[in-house]
């Protein structure tokens, strides 16, 4: 909670005044599919990522007319070194929940974040963008 929710809150509270001075800004928060679905044996993590989604929606609406857009990304499982710490059966299970049949790549998530942080993203705020290979469709 301290990192995922409080850290995010304090970071946004710090940067928002600078963005308000310029009547422009983009905030992209990183949540997780776990924040939408909940993961077994990860209730604290899931709750913290749900908090990121709720905070993003609220802050996005608060700043909607200020030129500052606030959105979040909810990735499913992505290729990363942390997966080496898990049993292969668990990684296989996570992959099996993704209709595309594979894990995400960091560059794919980075591309979405770059668009959300760009001027091209001009009419999306307080939104949650799934990048899940079809796992989440709501």
Domains of the chain, earliest start first: 2-131 (3.40.50.720)
Asked if 48 and 1 touch (Cβ cutoff 8 Å), the reply is yes
d(CA 109, CA 130) in angstroms, rounded, equals 10
Report field, pTM of the whole predicted structure over 0.85: yes
pLDDT digits (tens, 9 = 90+) for 86-121: 999 999 999 999 999 999 999 999 999 999 999 999
Residue 135 has phi, psi (to 5 degrees) of -60, -45
pLDDT digits (tens, 9 = 90+) for 52-85: 999 999 999 999 999 999 999 999 999 999 999 9
State the catalytic residues: 45
């Amino acid at each position: 909670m301290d990192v995922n929710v409080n850290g995010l809150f304090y970071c946004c509270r710090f940067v928002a005044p600078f963005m308000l001075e310029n009547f422009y800004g983009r905030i992209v928060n990183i949540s997780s599919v776990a924040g939408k679905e909940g993961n077994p044996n990860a209730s604290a993590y899931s709750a913290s990522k749900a908090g990121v989604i709720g905070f993003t929606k609220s802050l996005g609406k608060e700043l909607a007319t200020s030129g500052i857009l606030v959105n979040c990304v909810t990735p499913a499982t992505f290729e990363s070194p942390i997966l080496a710490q898990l049993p292969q059966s668990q990684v296989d299970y996570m992959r099996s929940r993704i209709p595309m049949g594979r894990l995400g790549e960091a560059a794919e998530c980075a591309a979405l974040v770059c668009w959300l942080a760009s001027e091209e993203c001009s009419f999306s705020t307080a939104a949650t963008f799934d990048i899940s290979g079809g796992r989440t469709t709501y």
